[in-house]
Amino acid sequence: MRKQTAKWKQKDGTFIRICDMTDAHLKNTIAMLERATKRYDHAFALAPNPFHGDIAFDMMESAQDAILEGDAETDPADLYPIYDKLCAERDRRNPNATGERRETRSERTQ
């Protein structure tokens, strides 16, 4: 049985298997999701606090402060489940690449 690979929906609406993406396309897709995650963090940090209870209000305020101060950031895989698959494909193609290798979610839970 052949392993099924995940598909990425491109800007034009067509789908492409991750394993069929060019190296440049794969790199740019990963970078785009990382930028989108930073925009999400920024929007979250500046959003009005919707909570009214003291504890909930304080927890939200602490989370926002941590992001603004650079002490916390959202994992792109939390927003984009396909992110780990894209990173795994990048690492499969170039296991000796210089730079930081990102652990996949399954590696983090072991």
DSSP 43-59: HHHHS-----SHHHHHH
Q: Among candidates 47, 38, 26, which has minimal Cα distance to 72?
A: 38
Specify if 1 maps to a domain. Answer: no
pLDDT at 66: 87
What pLDDT sits at residue 103? 61
For the chain, the domain total comes to 1
Query: pLDDT at position 24, please?
Result: 92
CB crowding 76-98: b at 16 or more within 10 Å, else e: bbeebebbbbbbbbbeeeeeeee
User: Which residue range is the domain that position 88 belongs to?
Assistant: 7-94
| Inside any domain, residue 33 | yes
Q: Please, which residues have CB within 8 angstroms of residue 45's CB and are 6 or more apart in sequence? A: 64, 67, 68
Strand partners, 9: 15
CA–CA gap between residue 33 and residue 80 (Å, rounded)? 8
The string of pLDDT tens digits covering residues 51-75 is 888 998 899 899 888 888 888 788 8
Give the mean pLDDT of 2-16. Answer: 86
Higher pLDDT, 3 or 61: 61
Residue with tokens 């927890």: 59
C-alpha to C-alpha distance for 47 and 57, rounded to whole angstroms = 13
- Is the confidence at residue 33, as pLDDT, over 70? yes
